[in-house]
C-alpha cells in the first residue's frame, strides 16, 4: 500500500490561488475551498457590518473588515482563516494599516461568523473556539435558521441569545448594542 504525501500550502500559495479565482481558507497547510453561501447569509453579514460600522466608524474606534481580509493564525504549516466580519481596535492596529497588502497578522478583537446553510452547530462552535484560542476577545456566531446568536467570550463564557435579547459589545465595543431581532429582521 502506498500513500501520497499531501503537499502543504503556504499563505503565499493561498494569495496566489485567490488571484486565480480559487477561494478558501488554509488550515495547517490544507486548502479548504469555500463556495458562495447564498443571499440570506450575505444579507445578514451585510446588515451586521452596517450596524457595527455605524457605531465604529464615526468614533474611529478601529478597523471593520469582511472575509476577504484573511487572518494569518499559524505558521509552518500555515493557517489563514477568513471571518465573515472582523473588528480590530485602533489601539492594536492603526487605521492606516488597512492599506498593508496580504493577510492580517493581528487576530481580531471581535469576530462575527454567520452560520452557512450547511454548517453544523459543532462546526460553528469549533470555529468560534479556534478564534478565541488565537486571541479573539469576543465571537458572535449568528444562526439564520434559528434566528439566534451564540456569544463566546475569552473568559470561557458562552450564551445563546434569541430575538427577545440584545447583543452588546461587552468590553470590546463598550456602548454598542442592538436587538438580536434587528440582525434577522427583513
CA 145 to chain centre: 19
Quick one: what percent of the chain has pLDDT higher than 90? 80
Query: From CA 129, how far away is CA 136, in angstroms rounded?
Result: 9
Query: From CA 158, how far away is CA 140, in angstroms rounded?
Result: 10
Q: Specify the pLDDT at position 67.
A: 81
pLDDT tens profile 93-123: 988 888 888 899 999 999 999 998 888 999 9
Q: Is the peptide bond before 77 cis (omega within 30 degrees of 0)?
A: yes
pLDDT tens profile 152-173: 999 999 999 999 999 999 999 9
The whole-number average pLDDT for the span 1-27 is 83
Residue 6 has pLDDT above 80, yes or no: no
Query: What pairs with residue 158 in β-bridges?
Result: 152
Say which residues have a Cβ less than 8 Å from residue 119's Cβ, sequence separation at least 6: none
The whole-number average pLDDT for the span 32-38 is 86
Residue 2 has pLDDT above 70, yes or no: no
One CATH from 3.40.1690.10, 3.90.1570.10, 3.40.50.300, 3.30.9.10 for 38-184: 3.90.1570.10
122's enclosing H/E stretch is helix 121-133
Q: Is the peptide bond before 154 cis (omega within 30 degrees of 0)?
A: no
Please give the torsion angle defined by the CA atoms of residues 56, 57, 59 and 63, in that order, rounded to the nearest 10 degrees.
Answer: 70
Determine which of 26-35, 131-140, 141-150 has the lowest per-residue pLDDT on average. Answer: 26-35
Residues written for the chain: 186
Q: Specify the pLDDT at position 90.
A: 96
Average pLDDT, the chain: 93
Query: From CA 176, how far away is CA 180, in angstroms rounded?
Result: 13
Amino acid at each position: 500500500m502506498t500513500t501520497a504525501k499531501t503537499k502543504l500550502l503556504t499563505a503565499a500559495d493561498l494569495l496566489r490561488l485567490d488571484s486565480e479565482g480559487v477561494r478558501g481558507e488554509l488550515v495547517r497547510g490544507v486548502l479548504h475551498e469555500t463556495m458562495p453561501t447564498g443571499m440570506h447569509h450575505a444579507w445578514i453579514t451585510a446588515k451586521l457590518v452596517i450596524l457595527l460600522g455605524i457605531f465604529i466608524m464615526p468614533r474611529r474606534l478601529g478597523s471593520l473588515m469582511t472575509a476577504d481580509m484573511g487572518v494569518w493564525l499559524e505558521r509552518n504549516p500555515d493557517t489563514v482563516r477568513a471571518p465573515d466580519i472582523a473588528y480590530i481596535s485602533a489601539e492594536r492596529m492603526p487605521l492606516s494599516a488597512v492599506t498593508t497588502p496580504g493577510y492580517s497578522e493581528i487576530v481580531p478583537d471581535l469576530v462575527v461568523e454567520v452560520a452557512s446553510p450547511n454548517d453544523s452547530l459543532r462546526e460553528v462552535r469549533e470555529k468560534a473556539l479556534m478564534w478565541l484560542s488565537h486571541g479573539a476577545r469576543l465571537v458572535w456566531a449568528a444562526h439564520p435558521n434559528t434566528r439566534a446568536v451564540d456569544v463566546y467570550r475569552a473568559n470561557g463564557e458562552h450564551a445563546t441569545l434569541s430575538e427577545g435579547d440584545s447583543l452588546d459589545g461587552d468590553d470590546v465595543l463598550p456602548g454598542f448594542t442592538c436587538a438580536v431581532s434587528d440582525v434577522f429582521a427583513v
